Structure 1
């Protein structure tokens, strides 16, 4: 039964890839600036030495120039965590380039202050989300292959770093492992990406890369822990999830404060 369930998940990813390939062939009003793997130069690199202090978990957060409030909320909540259950954790933000000189100067100053931005010189638009994701994979491949796990997420997400770390430690697998809605297969995905047709939808593109590598998605937990459609907040519920989508910066700060102030609350009866 479990094997059949995994086959269905895998088939779903391939099916979605086929459907989105069709839609990606529709003409764009403004064609995206497409780069091949490894092209373009890094404009900013984060301050992290993976050789000396290999991180257990690297979180790559896709962001944009106008999402400063979201980045600041993450830096004050789950993104501020540097060690969880004795494991090193690092959160980094992925950005492209802007046509606005003011925005480019602002993000350069932000990068100097926080040292947590990875930036390349492709145009930062929605259609280049795949480039942004592959930039993160490229950075891992070249600068941080020592990371045990890599997770790609978005700037409007709640991420329960503590519970995620707990589940990853229980999983006790750091090779050819992919889960969620990514994991230390980052270098392999980056390496194979050039031979996979480019798609503007980054999750589908990565899914096709994984299919080419014959890496099947695995459950992180028997219960649902990833909520891409959002979830109503409660302390006990959010203690036992890994991610929740569509969380505003204001709500993220509120949720985090409530969770921190309710560490003693008993959820065993829930």
Structure 2
């Protein structure tokens, strides 16, 4: 009898097994469906802003709806129209091989603002009503935005490789200045922008630093001796680059474009580039330490990957996202809708940025495919977006300065690499106060 029960129990188990397996499968299917329905993918921050958005909330920036580099033609704004034509003409599928470009295509590139021809007056794709509605400085910019080639008045071809050393600079500091800012340049030479070997903050490893000042021509009074003084300054220090274009706020973009061309020809082996204004203060020793660490990590990465020809795409500063054009006609940053519609890509504040030398060479070439824009730091963001390189935010770049109550405290600068808005007297005082900062704080 016991044996019979044992057999019946085994038979019962075999009979129930398919039902149990089916039940488990049904539970698994129901759980999977429930998880799929309830799952919401994480929201990835989009670094672009919808074209045409001008409203700005005090609490929240405009919400992006479309990508920045949109192939859709926005024909109501001059820059968008020019860039649309430039993108199509530089599209390798549409244009084919770049060599042997027919004259008709060159004319189209010129009219799209993608080629430079300063010997003749280019006819940009402008509408008469568009130009008339623009401000004086915008009209002046539009009239010459096709021109990217200006001759040197003062050049420094041997700045990076002098008789003292043939070593490539670890850091080339390119400072945007103006003709009359003699005191700013001298304060920089005596403090954070001093050329030569700079020791790191911990005196472990330093690097060769070279400094050059970027200038354009300025209108001066007939009896002004500014150009004579600048010529004397250049002969004494050998760090002035002066081009034959009018130095205005909207032409600051030209300084980037012309500097990249100079860099490619005269200083292509510099490992890093600092580009900034002549009213910032940089803790150069701390910056040298940081860059040495970045370069060592990049070299190790090249060693382990065997990608010896891979450049370094470092670009860092105080990154600004979700920015829209300034539509206030009373400000110098005013960009009318007739010139540009949409929002800005991610960019770093123009007070000061650092990028690798290899990226500087890539920026030079890609800038030929991006129509000039009158705000220089935004234009840099446009070129980076075209390259597919995202600017990195570094909290040590304070282009909007420290809180007012902390500016007089040397220890507040311990983690700072750059602060903006310092006059020559403040630069010199700050340089003295920040010596041996690590020992004091």
TM-score interval, normalised by the smaller of the two chains: 0.7 to 0.9
> How far, CA to CA, are the matches of 2:146 and 2:415 in structure 1?
39
| Displacement over 4 Å in runs of 4+ | 35-38
Q: Is the 8 A contact 1:198 1:205 kept in 2?
A: yes
Of structures 1 and 2, the one scoring higher in RCO (CA 8 A, sep 6+) is 1
Rg bigger for which structure?
A: 2
CA RMSD of aligned residues (A): 2.9
Choose the corresponding residue for 2:155, options 33, 45, 48.
Answer: 45
TM-score (norm 1): 0.84
Secondary structure of the structure 2 residue equivalent to 1:61: strand
> How far, CA to CA, are the matches of 1:82 and 1:162 in structure 2?
12
Structure-2 residue corresponding to 1:196: 370
> Structure 2: which 5+ runs fail to align?
1-41, 52-63, 70-78, 81-130, 199-204, 299-310, 318-347, 349-353
| 2:255 corresponds to 1:148 | no
Change (3 A) 1:36 1:92: farther
> How far, CA to CA, are the matches of 2:216 and 2:434 in structure 1?
33
Structure-2 residue corresponding to 1:175: 312
> How far, CA to CA, are the matches of 1:127 and 1:105 in structure 2?
26
Structure-1 residue corresponding to 2:421: 246
* Range with greater deviation from structure 2 (33-42 or 122-131): 33-42
> How far, CA to CA, are the matches of 1:247 and 1:138 in structure 2?
29
Deviations 1:56-109 (A, max 9, x none): 101111000121111111111001152223310111110001233632222111
Q: Is the 8 A contact 2:212 2:241 kept in 1?
A: yes
Structure 1 position 166, deviation (Å): 1.2
| 2:215 corresponds to 1:95 | yes
Choose the corresponding residue for 1:70, options 160, 175, 184.
Answer: 184
Q: Is the 8 A contact 1:37 1:194 kept in 2?
A: no
Structure 1 position 11, deviation (Å): 3.6
Q: Is the 8 A contact 1:95 1:119 kept in 2?
A: yes
Q: Is the 8 A contact 2:160 2:169 kept in 1?
A: no
Structure 1 position 157, deviation (Å): 0.2
> Structure 1: which 5+ runs fail to align?
none
Change (3 A) 1:140 1:36: farther
> How far, CA to CA, are the matches of 1:118 and 1:35 in structure 2?
21
Structure 1 position 135, deviation (Å): 1.9
Q: Is the 8 A contact 2:411 2:437 kept in 1?
A: no
Change (3 A) 1:233 1:145: farther
Count of residue pairs the alignment pairs up: 255
* Range with greater deviation from structure 2 (174-183 or 141-150): 174-183
